Amino acid sequence: MGVACKLSCGHCSYHQNVFLGIGFRYIDLDSILEWYEEEEGRQRIKEFRGDQKTTFHCYDGLYVCPECNYLLNHVYLHMQSETKSYTNRYICPRCNTKMPTEPLLEEIKSGVLDCPDCKQEKLVVAFYMDWD
């Protein structure tokens, strides 16, 4: 099950709604293929889904740009078989820096995210909904 939260800054007007975790459409690679948008990832899912030894992790996460602190709420997908692996990657839309390989989770729960706009305060995290 996933959760939704609102991130907001008490110093400036920054706010963002973020969806984290998994839903029922994340249960297998065939289900993920139905909604996954990025074309390279779709092709790689097709390669992996016939292999019985493939394992995967897929969930909505929050990526933080290492350069400008931009917060990107997107899907994390990692697939592994005996002979190959694939992890999706993102580029920061603000500064074109490569985003980290994996999104954050504990930082959101503990409230230590810096405001990506003013960088003056930590973001306030308010969880408001479970989703599936």
Residue range 77-97, pLDDT digits in tens:
999 999 999 999 999 999 999
Query: Quick one: pLDDT at residue 105?
Result: 72
CA distance 20 to 18: 6
122 pLDDT higher than 80:
yes
107 pLDDT higher than 90:
no
Instruction: State which residues form the domain around 75.
Output: 2-131
Total domains in the chain come to 1
Report the mean per-residue pLDDT for the chain. Answer: 93
Any idea how long the chain is? 132
**Residue indicated by tokens 């029922």:** 24
Contact 15, 121 (CB under 8 A): no
Query: Quick one: pLDDT at residue 50?
Result: 82
